[in-house]
Structure 1
């Protein structure tokens, strides 16, 4: 029988992480439907890419390295930065384009799943969290490779491939589409 921490890791790997990618894809579909390149444009599109990077960093760190105080601090800082940028994103976009019910639902997942994953990381690594809050940080600032692969040896390549298809490539397309329109507008104004 799997231990509770192993069950929580499986929940994160096979439910929360893929669901976060799917929510990102739904969000991209909504941006495309509202023709973001003609409304809020390149600035908002780049903000979306920034938010993806803000979450990609802690996800990759937790998949590749043993969680210690340093990695937990990076995860917390990335989550806080993501929350601030997400608030800015909606504040910037709302007056410039329609935000549909579907997009609002996607935003709900995109905002809550990182928090749930952060909380699961804390629970799974409770002794490390105690070291963090008691400032017992000695020997806790290194990147120690994971001695075993989460989800088995094939998980990381499959997950990265999945994320490339549902998030990285679509948001690169969005950035390029918005850049093309921004350059056309600049050329017309000149």
Structure 2
């Protein structure tokens, strides 16, 4: 197995699952601090936005070959995620207790996207060179993967894993916060 494949396996089988687990721990912390009664729907929606901000580039990298377009989307999504993460913590810190467990979850949720982006850059170094030298010709469209990373089972398995650990819990959080918000009117 070559170095690039080892790095891809690190992304697929370590970093991506860790990101989902950290998201679930974060959700558990929100539930324990009764987010619906403290910082409410606004913070809950920020969490959903951050999940989407990282989820889109992850899906793009799993479904399409990494080219300049995909790398630009990854970079933009990471920058936006950092902005919303800062906004989220500054908003919530005055409204509810942020436990040590939640702080640890946040450290993973903040650093794993950067580590994933760095590994994607290393594995696709010629694309990084094309990006910074503005050699973008022919690289601004989506090219489907011929062979999916992790095999044909990985994407359905990963999407199921993320639905159970993150999508459904955060959807439940949004609904819980919306109900309390509507009752308060």
Q: How far did 1:59 drift?
A: 0.1
Cross-structure match for 1:81: 80
Q: Distance in 1 between matches of 2:143 and 2:47?
A: 30
Cross-structure match for 2:134: 135
Cross-structure match for 1:152: 151
Residue correspondence of structure 1 range 5-20 to structure 2 within 5 A: 5-20=4-19
Any idea what the Cα deviations from partners look like across 1:24-83, whole Å, max 9, x if unmatched? 000000000000000000000000000000000000000000000000000000000000
Give structure 2 stretches of 5+ with no counterpart: none
Residue correspondence of structure 1 range 26-175 to structure 2 within 5 A: 26-175=25-174
Q: How far did 1:105 drift?
A: 0.1
Q: Distance in 2 between matches of 1:44 and 1:103?
A: 14
Any idea what the Cα deviations from partners look like across 1:135-178, whole Å, max 9, x if unmatched? 00000111100010100010000000000000000000000000
Q: Distance in 2 between matches of 1:51 and 1:138?
A: 31
Instruction: Tell me the SS of whatever aligns to 1:18.
Output: helix
Return the TM-score normalized by structure 1. Answer: 0.97
Q: How far did 1:113 drift?
A: 0.2
Return the TM-score normalized by structure 2. Answer: 1.00
After the TM superposition, list the runs of 4 or more consecutive aligned residues in structure 1 that deviate by more than 3 angstroms: none
Q: How many residues align?
A: 185
Instruction: Tell me the SS of whatever aligns to 2:184.
Output: helix
- Alignment root-mean-square deviation, CA: 0.3
